[in-house]
Amino acid sequence: MIVNEIRRPNFRKNRPINCHPERSAAKSKDLRLLLPLLLLLVTTIHAPAQNKSAASTKGFSGQSAYSLTQQYLAAAPKRWIGSPGHLKAEEFIKSHFAPEAAKGNLETDSFSANTPAGQLAMRNYIVRFPGKKDGVIVLASHYETNYPLRDINFVGANDGGATTALLIEIGTYLRAHPPEGYSVWLLFDDGEEAIKDWSASDSLYGTRHLAAKWSQDGTLKRIKAFLLADMIADKDLHIDRDDNSTPWLQDLLATAAKNTGHSASVFQFPTSALDDHIPFKQRGVPVLDLIDFNYGPATQEHPEGGYHHTELDTLDKLSPKSFQISGELILELIHLINLH
């Protein structure tokens, strides 16, 4: 992905911690008689939002997502299209969804793309978790590594690796907690990165293909929201406000952050990201890019952060805590979209 406009400094500011006011205890005998009723009223009026609307995330593990990333990078450290590692990455993803494959809920979407390197075979993987309402929430991540960086030791731990693992862990959660509302489809998309130089025609191959395909077969009309996860396992996590995302989904992300206690991890910086949500946005689908584009200390070559698209994008830059925050935000978002 690229950001076509960055309107934020390359440093982080901590938000102040809000404290809850203390409550005074009533001492009179009469008030003590009314105390149970007063406590009930106070609890009802002042209960935090998460007690009313936050989705249960019991069963989702940020530590497991971190461990899956470690395993994924060991199995397929270099995953550029056409490489042996790319095939190993695909096998890794499919191996974690054998139960869904047995039910016919794992689809391989194979296609050929015309690129600056010629025709390249690419594959998207769609894992479906059926819900009880008519409609679909798509949660996507690209899984390959940058093609132009194929000759250096670039493993894309945060850029593609982490969110692939995050989706696998969310799949584990959904297997144990099937959707009560809309169906949830996990999309592992291919060819997000440019093959030569980023442009409208040399990027986003997998999602451009799938958005067109789903537009033709009517699937697009069923999609209530397209959620994209990209680079959101950074130890210094702060998910940006993406101006290319749908406003009501931005609002729901703010609510999800409040409900889960993660408001400090979102919306400190604005961004305009050209990412895998764009082909769906262009076709009228509500979209949200969950991305932390400020990754590592800024350099002259990489003002957005010195780890992005370098050999420094490695596992040690990530944390289980950031995986946990991102997973809880996504699960709460799914919950809120069902209520929207």
Each of the 340 residues of the chain gets a pLDDT tens digit; together they read 766 544 444 433 333 323 332 222 233 333 333 444 444 443 333 333 333 457 778 889 999 999 999 999 999 999 999 999 999 999 999 999 999 999 999 999 999 999 999 999 999 999 999 999 999 999 999 999 999 999 999 999 999 999 999 999 999 999 999 999 999 999 999 999 999 999 999 999 999 999 999 999 999 999 999 999 999 999 999 999 999 999 999 999 999 999 999 999 999 999 999 999 999 999 999 999 999 999 999 888 877 788 999 999 999 999 999 999 999 999 999 999 999 9
Give how far the C-alpha of residue 81 lies from the chain's centroid of Cα atoms, to the nearest Å: 22
Query: How much is the pLDDT for 54?
Result: 77
Q: What does the pLDDT read at residue 260? A: 97
Residue 160 · residue 206 · CB < 8 Å: no
Helices (H), the chain: 29-46, 49-53, 62-75, 84-95, 98-102, 162-176, 205-217, 247-260, 278-281, 320-339
Q: What is the pLDDT of residue 58?
A: 87
Give CA–CA dist 296/302, Å, rounded.
9
Give the pLDDT score at 57.
85
Give the pLDDT confidence score for residue 53 in this predicted structure.
56
Residue 321 burial (CB < 10 Å; 0-12/13-18/19+)?
Answer: middle
154 within 8 A of 311, measured Cβ to Cβ: yes
DSSP secondary-structure letter at 9?
-
Sheet of strand 239-242: strand arrangement: 2-6, 266-274, 239-242
pTM of the model: 0.86
Q: Could you tell me which residues are beta bridge partners of residue 10?
A: none
CA distance 170 to 188: 13
User: Which class would CATH give 57-339?
Assistant: alpha beta
pLDDT for position 125: 98
Report the pLDDT value the prediction gives residue 4, as an integer from 0 to 100. Answer: 57
